[in-house]
A and B are shown apart, each in its own frame.
Chain A
């Protein structure tokens, strides 16, 4: 059970406080409700590029990191298709430094040409390092547009192409900032040995004077139901073939989300999972085979990815995975298997409560979904799931016409 308190400033900023007296470290996490899905299709990669710019100095503070490091802290951030999340950890006595820094960059960024120019190249190097200069690095650049035809999940957070990042102008940057970086769009959580009064006072002092900005309401195209199997085959200079499959699944707030999550666990959570046990170890058709969900806010993807053993064709590999999926559609999973998954989830939940930063991030994510209190009800969503529920969901999700398949072939 994670206890927390919540209040909202007049400008709309939501603030969560979680007290944990056992640690000398405080976590300051601030999430903004903006991600790659909010980008213009002709200017992708922007939310992430922007995350980099947020470290390039703000109106009154030329450099974000130096004062934080001076206070014994460190900082980082990540961007997903849904959100941009910034976090600082520091010795608790210096908490105010984080308030000072984070409020100033929400108040107004410095917008220097130098920062834009440098971060454009840094992000381009990141693009190369993780997506182009790695075997299989471009998989998500291929899979997303295969699975999504309308919804902006069709491009990756890094962007569709390097060109979009190269083309970003200062005007774009400013427009993006004022549109998405508003107090109403932010959720702050402070977790550590702090009191609610202390956090209230600091929030009021540093964030209180920031004026609310225009509300942004998101209107995204809904991905129409997929009605036929999509296939893509590419050839790349990689050591071995790889197989990728995606299936459309429910959005984060749908009850069916938890069913899909559990199905992915049945298939590939732990070494005794079906994929690992049967297809990797018993039949030895794959060197690795995973199932996971993207976990996105809007309707997401159930993904299967694997590398077939040398000598096993992609066609054969695909057929074997289909067979496992069909078993889930035809046969009920055993109570033992179900209990195993539930026990594992319980453990993961408890281990997740070990770090203040982790707790702060999760509280913010749940608040974004509607209510931070959901953090304590997560297990309830799984407890009552029955084998029958899972079978019904498997019948829906694993329909072949709901899937996209990528054959990623090694150049011979």
Chain B
């Protein structure tokens, strides 16, 4: 008779292979990290610039510069670039976060030679036509109005504003910002920020060495420019409770968190990642188990430690039934207190460790993921030894060490709490 009660034996993940990229430099000094490790005939070519929203003088500039890349260029009228990108089955993706702007091309290998010159033209000679910009801005404004109606969105925005009161991270566009942007602002920003010295090329997938020559040919002409990267000190937020009522809401958005004064890649940093996983970092976490799987107050609740260039912060977020908003808050604080007062039981800690190692294995699987993992530490001044230290910390950390760190950083009294909806 088959024993269905006893779990099959398992083996913890001992090693995750992280791969060093090939490093090349274009004649203009622009650095290339190459991850030639794919088994599929695909390529991801990403241009990263220190040109995120924290550098802009007016809201939305960084976002619309990256968004308008591919719209039109000196040699192609509006729509022509996108038509060619579509024709060769490629994808152009651009976005901009607080720290960086990215423009990425995804293509299958056999189309690379056709699409590379088009992509280069889009990136090197964009024209930001006023008419198209206005269309994008009008669309963006309407979209903003829709998003702003969602309690989850509104809550995140308000939380971030309060968390980073005196830092560019806390600035958001309001409706009027969409009326105040002009093409010349985008051109200035583009010229200043999209330069070889201010950027990094990351290429991943399956390719041969001739790709580097092609990159030199197409992108060697990116102006040298200067490195604009700079850190702006974050003034730590103060604990407060903010409630914004939204009449008629049947759910409330909740966000609770704080800025963490911890050094990226330090022992305490890794311990915080582990504690966060216990609390709200995976499906079996305490927040999910208690608030969703035991009480049924929400479809989902989670927490994260987010690392940006100028700050590391922690937050818990959920959308919960309006009628159980207060009960949820109470349970969240109960869990934070428990984390600071009681040792994490051994069995739970073992599960969290195994889970974390398994997900590290998963999140570095494949060339694109590997490139992402490398990039995320590279821009914060770390190298792959970051992951060795991380894994070794997961393996050796004890519940006693974790509670010390929890007490230091997760004191419920120091948290900012934002609720949007109905209590």
The interface of chain A, by Cβ under 8 A from chain B, is 22-25, 59-61, 65-67, 69-75, 89-91, 93-94, 96-97, 99-100, 103-104, 107, 117-126, 128-130, 132-136, 205-206, 209, 237-240, 269-273, 277, 280-281, 284, 287-288, 307, 309-310, 336, 339-340, 343-348, 350-351, 353-355
Task: Find B82's partner among A89, A120, A272, A307 (CB 8 Å cutoff).
Answer: A272
Task: Find B297's partner among A93, A125, A205, A353 (CB 8 Å cutoff).
Answer: A125
Given contact pairs A122-B292, A205-B2, A353-B40, a sample of 9 additional A-B residue pairs in the complex whose CB atoms are under 8 Å apart = A69-B355, A72-B12, A90-B358, A96-B8, A120-B296, A126-B299, A238-B149, A284-B135, A345-B89
A280 to B88, CA, bound (A): 22
Contact in complex: A119, B296 (CB < 8 Å): yes
B130 to chain A, nearest CB (A): 13
Contact in complex: B355, A271 (CB < 8 Å): no
Q: Which of B193-201, B233-241, B246-254 is the contact stretch?
A: B246-254
**Contact code string B292-306 (vs A, CB < 8 Å = 1, else 0):** 111111110000000
Contact in complex: A134, B150 (CB < 8 Å): yes
Contact in complex: B251, A240 (CB < 8 Å): no
Indicate whether B111 reaches chain A with its CB closer than 8 angstroms. Answer: yes
Q: Given that A89-B362, A239-B146, A347-B90 are contacting pairs, would A287 and B2 also be in contact in the complex, using a CB cutoff of 8 Å?
A: no
CB neighbours (8 Å) of A307 from chain B are 142
Contact in complex: B13, A209 (CB < 8 Å): no
A72 to B150, CA, bound (A): 35
CB neighbours (8 Å) of A273 from chain B are 86
Contact in complex: A69, B106 (CB < 8 Å): no
CB neighbours (8 Å) of A65 from chain B are 283-284
Considering the complex, give the chain B residue whose CB is closest to the CB of A270: B86
User: What are 21 pairs between A and B in contact, CB < 8 Å?
Assistant: A22-B39, A25-B362, A61-B4, A69-B358, A70-B10, A72-B358, A73-B358, A97-B7, A118-B294, A122-B293, A123-B299, A125-B319, A133-B250, A133-B251, A135-B149, A209-B2, A237-B248, A269-B86, A284-B135, A288-B139, A347-B90
A104 to chain B, nearest CB (A): 5
Contact in complex: B143, A72 (CB < 8 Å): no
Contact in complex: A25, B365 (CB < 8 Å): yes
Q: Given that A272-B86, A350-B108 are contacting pairs, would A133 and B319 also be in contact in the complex, using a CB cutoff of 8 Å?
A: yes
A48 to B113, CA, bound (A): 47
A176 to B346, CA, bound (A): 39
CB neighbours (8 Å) of A284 from chain B are 135, 138
Give the secondary structure class of B's interface: mixed
Contact in complex: B5, A60 (CB < 8 Å): yes
Interface members, chain B 82-120 (any A CB < 8 Å): 82-83, 85-91, 106-108, 111
CB neighbours (8 Å) of A344 from chain B are 86, 89
Indicate whether B402 reaches chain A with its CB closer than 8 angstroms. Answer: no
Indicate whether B225 reaches chain A with its CB closer than 8 angstroms. Answer: no
CB neighbours (8 Å) of B78 from chain A are 281
B119 to chain A, nearest CB (A): 14
**Contact code string B61-92 (vs A, CB < 8 Å = 1, else 0):** 00000000010000000110011011111110
B110 to chain A, nearest CB (A): 9
Interface members, chain B 156-197 (any A CB < 8 Å): none
A280 to B145, CA, bound (A): 18
Contact in complex: A133, B298 (CB < 8 Å): no
Contact in complex: A354, B251 (CB < 8 Å): no
Considering the complex, give the chain A residue whose CB is closest to the CB of B90: A347
**Contact code string B247-275 (vs A, CB < 8 Å = 1, else 0):** 01111000000000000000000000000
**Contact code string B134-158 (vs A, CB < 8 Å = 1, else 0):** 0100110011011011110000000
Task: Find B354's partner among A59, A71, A136 (CB 8 Å cutoff).
Answer: A71
A346 to B362, CA, bound (A): 26
B331 to chain A, nearest CB (A): 14
